[in-house]
Amino acid sequence: MVEIKLFLTDVDGVLTDGSMYYTESGDEFKKFNTRDGMAFELLRKNGIKTGIITSENTQIVARRAAKIKADYLYQGHRDGGKLSAAIEICNTESISMHQVAYIGDDLNCIALLKEVGHAACPADAAYQVKAIPGIIILNRKGGDGCVREFVERILDKQ
């Protein structure tokens, strides 16, 4: 196994259960799993950089990224934009895509999932994602600690 230097994740459907909650006044809520937050701390303690790449562009995600001390946050990146964001981070860190672990759940994650050295998806990911050759299909669903599960698998092998 190539040593992981960078861990990247999607948000909706991975760090959250994919639900979007709205109040009558238009406020939006997302539920994050605290165990996934601890996963970022475990990665940091092991010298692995972290990042979030998402199609959405919200203050909620910016606040969550700050709280978990993600090294990188790219919002508003759809489809191939996620892959280009990851390549940009790799260039900044002087690492290859083979040294990247990424967890994603939906169609807009596929291009990036196919390029990284270690790809995983939540148990409830889109079937097209689950069909990617070599992808790790985790036991946990999005928003239910799947990031922590993937991180523990990575750290157990490093």
**1 domain-assigned:** no
pLDDT of residue 1: 58
Count of helices and strands (H, E) across the chain: 6, 8
Query: Is 124 part of any known ligand binding site?
Result: no
Domain contains 122: yes
The domain total for the chain is: 1
Say whether 12 counts as a known binding-site residue.
yes
Q: Distance of CA 62 to CAs 33, 44, 79, 110, Å?
A: 16, 18, 20, 23
pLDDT at 132: 98
The CATH number of whichever domain residue 13 belongs to comes to 3.40.50.1000
- Contacts by 25-29, CB closer than 8 A, 24 or more apart: 28/58, 28/60, 29/60
- The domain containing residue 43 runs over which residues? 6-157
pLDDT < 70: residue spans in the chain: 1, 77-80
Q: What pLDDT is attached to residue 33?
A: 94
**pTM, whole model, 2 decimals?**
0.95
Could you tell me if residue 114 is inside a domain? yes
Q: What is the pLDDT of residue 13?
A: 96
Q: Was 105 annotated as part of a binding site?
A: yes
Can you give the pLDDT at residue 78?
65
Residue 12 is predicted with a pLDDT of 94
